[in-house]
A and B are shown apart, each in its own frame.
Chain A
């Protein structure tokens, strides 16, 4: 396939949805307007833990413009949601308050301002309990149970070989604790949904969301409706990064409940502080790591205990537990591995999906420890990584063997080549410290252990030859619609601008699960490809009749059906499509793509889990101002094995954006808690990188084709986060000579440490 010339795949393509975005015409959920639309605003507990005794809505109901104040008793369903059954998250608090951002009532009013004003008059009588704020406190023997089943959300093990005998064999054993902090998604569009009764006994929810099907299921269940009565339409979504799933369901349920009760459209648009306090964060993790190595740098054993602070509800914790577990050993061939991964409940905002999904945290720990080992063994950063890097045919941590598409070594070589030119030694001058850090990473693509991975897609060609593609996975800014359109255009041989890839609508394609795990391009792309192939077959059959030849003698390209042996014999595709329509060939197809299933031992996590991995190596050279701790990134090289670059423009954008989120995680961003309350629920004190904080990411792609991806592609959405974060931590250690085992390492931390040295 690599020999084949593509017309559209692999070439830089503008976003197919770009024009509406640069002109401001795209309608995000909060931009929608419906006649008679009401506004909803939730009243938050404001107490991290306690018993909810009563909610008094009397005064709030008197506010002009207020139509209703809904409390738990006013909901129509089980008042439960979550990602993995049994669900544990209440939509409106019933009895127990588990975090300060918990909603206790929902005010519906003619205007947003009236709803907000009234929300301040709702009185929740809460008996305050001592909140459980650390994982240690949650695991204490006498700890109060945050949920009936205790404070352990989920725990799993990975066991490969015999880790103790591995350690017995080692020349060097390194053992340390590492820690990461909560991270906020901080997409610039706060969550918003609008529920509209459609007058046909159904309800339509327009949502800024990542998984319309999750919303449909939860909304239907909590309204006591069959799924078929609920339609969820994805609106333009202003970033998600994992964050617009649970919370979108929560506000979707509230909006839909009110819309059904009041028979009017209801909009819920979060304020920024609600978006931080009342929706999931990236798990803070504590990680105990132990690595055994031979003198030559070969890793012989690795053991790790991972403790994830999951906050008040399970959300995606079980899956993040597994993903962290599976990736804790890194992209290395280690014979003996033993990992234990556990998420616990605390009285804080719940943790869940966030770009990288547990991998950035373990990569930070793993790559820090490997670097510590390299330093004490006197081996260079890239040599120790190369020595241990997986090769085709090696068994990875889950004992899964890939015979192809294992490009880690190529990414290390690419970084070595690129950094050969610049000075990477640690050094110092009067005002600055300099250092370079490296990190390699592995990131599973597709749902893997999270369950079956299927996506539906439809491709429809009209008589004029224009095409509509609808896949079940969402556009979140990452360019999914562009990739889907590219694939359809490539298969059908039509120009990209004749293809429209639409936003997801749950009525029209098969439930495709969540747009997570970098799976849009892979499983989603495969579904589009399959759907398009069928339409292509119709076109070829029709063209064969028209040319009076066999279908195999025809190709579709440049908007024409062309005879293979006579390039000038061409019929415009619209003519073929029109003829196909009148002849009765189907021009629409619904296809279904299913990634190879996972098959593994659930006690040891040994077996086939992900159907592909993205591999990467990052290098980051930094300069630290000695007087203030201020850091400047001088170079950042990000090399990833992406299988196949489908759209270079989209791909570099993903790597650059993901890297800056990783840099934020490692250096700037920290959700500050005091007594169970987030102190910096805004974009001034929660320091998201601005343009003046950007890093000069240089992207290098390695293409080791993935047999399970369209044209050999693997996903690229998540992996850069881990690489940039871990490389930064190693760069700081190189520059300062001090090993920070907790991220973020802020200016403040750096200055404090170098002054203490």
Chain B
């Protein structure tokens, strides 16, 4: 069936059945491989995308459910000057990236959190990121990154 949705601000029309996952559409059809697959079952958060602004697991989302929605992937993030988004910059500055495989999902969960809660507490950050597993960093620097980006985004 034909599916029409917006991805990172561009309208996309694709052809797919319900056995195809949104994750496959992004990675295979649109070549947006920044969205990762770590488990395929909703358990790791590597495949996180923003669907109408909310983080969801694209690995559990049948492609037809994209119809009419607005999708943001890591490739769609940009800073005010067209460079890195403040969240991306903060992840670099704080050393919150090691292997980087969890990073796109982590950054999108952070964005969703900060969009609704510009000054989250540590507890709120933890809840907001609890669907994204990182095996490398031990999370301390990721929390710092979220705090730093929140601060910078508030000051913008």
A/B touching: CB–CB < 8 A: yes
The answer, yes or no, to whether B102 is at the interface (CB within 8 Å) is yes
The stretch of A23-31, A58-66, A563-571, A734-742 that contacts the partner chain = A23-31
Cβ–Cβ < 8 Å partners of A14 in chain B:
92-93, 95
Q: Closest CB of chain A to B6's CB: distance in Å?
A: 18
The answer, yes or no, to whether B82 is at the interface (CB within 8 Å) is no
The answer, yes or no, to whether B66 is at the interface (CB within 8 Å) is no
Query: Contact: A656 with B92, CB < 8 Å?
Result: no
**Once bound together, how far apart are the Cα atoms of A368 and B74, in whole Å?**
46
- For window 25-58 of chain A, which residues contact chain B by CB distance below 8 Å? 25-28, 30-31, 33
The answer, yes or no, to whether B103 is at the interface (CB within 8 Å) is yes
The answer, yes or no, to whether A696 is at the interface (CB within 8 Å) is yes
Q: Which of B27, B100, B139 interacts with A236 by CB under 8 Å?
A: B100
**Once bound together, how far apart are the Cα atoms of A187 and B99, in whole Å?**
9
Cβ–Cβ < 8 Å partners of B74 in chain A:
22-24
Counting chain A CB atoms within 10 Å of each CB, the highest count among B19, B31, B43, B98 belongs to B98
The 0/1 profile, CB within 8 Å of A marked 1, for residues 119-156 of chain B is 00000011101101111111111110000000000000
The answer, yes or no, to whether B18 is at the interface (CB within 8 Å) is no
Query: Contact: B133 with A690, CB < 8 Å?
Result: yes
The A interface, classified by DSSP as helix, strand, loop or mixed, is loop
The stretch of A157-165, A384-392, A646-654, A704-712 that contacts the partner chain = A646-654
Query: Contact: B133 with A683, CB < 8 Å?
Result: yes
The answer, yes or no, to whether A407 is at the interface (CB within 8 Å) is no
The 0/1 profile, CB within 8 Å of A marked 1, for residues 70-108 of chain B is 000111010000001000110111110111111110010
Q: Which of A189, A241, A660 interacts with B101 by CB under 8 Å?
A: A189
How many chain B residues touch A (CB < 8 A): the figure is: 54
Query: Contact: B98 with A478, CB < 8 Å?
Result: yes
Q: Closest CB of chain B to A476's CB: distance in Å?
A: 6
The answer, yes or no, to whether B46 is at the interface (CB within 8 Å) is yes
The 0/1 profile, CB within 8 Å of B marked 1, for residues 446-489 of chain A is 00000000000000000000000000000011110000000000
Shortest Cβ distance from A649 into B: residue:
B95
Cβ–Cβ < 8 Å partners of A186 in chain B:
133, 135
Q: Closest CB of chain A to B124's CB: distance in Å?
A: 11
Query: Contact: B40 with A24, CB < 8 Å?
Result: no
Query: Contact: B98 with A657, CB < 8 Å?
Result: yes
Query: Contact: A30 with B137, CB < 8 Å?
Result: no
**Once bound together, how far apart are the Cα atoms of A25 and B88, in whole Å?**
13
Q: Which of B84, B99, B129, B136 interacts with A22 by CB under 8 Å?
A: B84
Total contacts A-B at CB 8 Å: 177
Counting chain B CB atoms within 10 Å of each CB, the highest count among A18, A185, A653, A691 belongs to A691
How many chain A residues touch B (CB < 8 A): the figure is: 58
The answer, yes or no, to whether A239 is at the interface (CB within 8 Å) is yes
Query: Contact: B34 with A24, CB < 8 Å?
Result: yes
Known: A24-B104, A688-B133, A690-B130. A479 touches B98 (CB 8 A): yes
The answer, yes or no, to whether B41 is at the interface (CB within 8 Å) is yes
Query: Contact: B101 with A188, CB < 8 Å?
Result: yes
Query: Contact: B40 with A271, CB < 8 Å?
Result: yes
Cβ–Cβ < 8 Å partners of A690 in chain B:
130, 133
The answer, yes or no, to whether B39 is at the interface (CB within 8 Å) is yes
Shortest Cβ distance from B39 into A: residue:
A272
Q: Closest CB of chain B to A28's CB: distance in Å?
A: 7
**Once bound together, how far apart are the Cα atoms of A27 and B32, in whole Å?**
11
**Once bound together, how far apart are the Cα atoms of A30 and B37, in whole Å?**
9
Cβ–Cβ < 8 Å partners of B130 in chain A:
690-692
Cβ–Cβ < 8 Å partners of A21 in chain B:
97, 99-100, 103
**Once bound together, how far apart are the Cα atoms of A188 and B93, in whole Å?**
22
The answer, yes or no, to whether B57 is at the interface (CB within 8 Å) is no
Cβ–Cβ < 8 Å partners of B95 in chain A:
12, 14-15, 649-650, 652-653
Q: Which of A22, A272, A656, A660 interacts with B41 by CB under 8 Å?
A: A272
Query: Contact: B141 with A653, CB < 8 Å?
Result: yes
Known: A14-B92, A190-B38. A694 touches B43 (CB 8 A): no
Cβ–Cβ < 8 Å partners of B141 in chain A:
652-653, 656
The answer, yes or no, to whether A238 is at the interface (CB within 8 Å) is yes
**Once bound together, how far apart are the Cα atoms of A658 and B38, in whole Å?**
20
**Once bound together, how far apart are the Cα atoms of A658 and B127, in whole Å?**
23
Shortest Cβ distance from A13 into B: residue:
B95
Cβ–Cβ < 8 Å partners of B111 in chain A:
none
Query: Contact: A238 with B140, CB < 8 Å?
Result: no
Counting chain A CB atoms within 10 Å of each CB, the highest count among B99, B127, B132 belongs to B99
The answer, yes or no, to whether A420 is at the interface (CB within 8 Å) is no
Shortest Cβ distance from B132 into A: residue:
A691
Query: Contact: B132 with A22, CB < 8 Å?
Result: no
Q: Which of B40, B94, B99 interacts with A239 by CB under 8 Å?
A: B99
Q: Closest CB of chain A to B74's CB: distance in Å?
A: 4
Cβ–Cβ < 8 Å partners of B138 in chain A:
653, 656-660, 694-695, 697
Q: Closest CB of chain B to A180's CB: distance in Å?
A: 19
Cβ–Cβ < 8 Å partners of A477 in chain B:
98-101, 136
**Once bound together, how far apart are the Cα atoms of A684 and B39, in whole Å?**
10
**Once bound together, how far apart are the Cα atoms of A692 and B132, in whole Å?**
11
Q: Which of A23, A478, A682 interacts with B75 by CB under 8 Å?
A: A23
Shortest Cβ distance from A655 into B: residue:
B138
Query: Contact: B134 with A696, CB < 8 Å?
Result: no
Instruction: Identify 16 residue pairs between A and B in the complex whose beta-carbon atoms are under 8 Å apart, listed by A's number.
Output: A18-B100, A21-B103, A22-B89, A24-B32, A28-B101, A186-B133, A236-B100, A272-B40, A272-B43, A650-B95, A653-B98, A653-B141, A690-B133, A691-B130, A692-B130, A695-B138
Binding site for A on B (CB under 8 A): 19, 27, 31-41, 43-44, 46, 73-75, 77, 84, 88-89, 91-95, 97-104, 107, 125-127, 129-130, 132-143
Apart from A22-B92, A24-B35, list 16 A-B contacts with CB within 8 A.
A15-B92, A15-B95, A22-B97, A22-B107, A24-B103, A28-B33, A186-B135, A188-B46, A189-B99, A237-B99, A239-B136, A269-B37, A658-B138, A683-B133, A688-B135, A691-B125
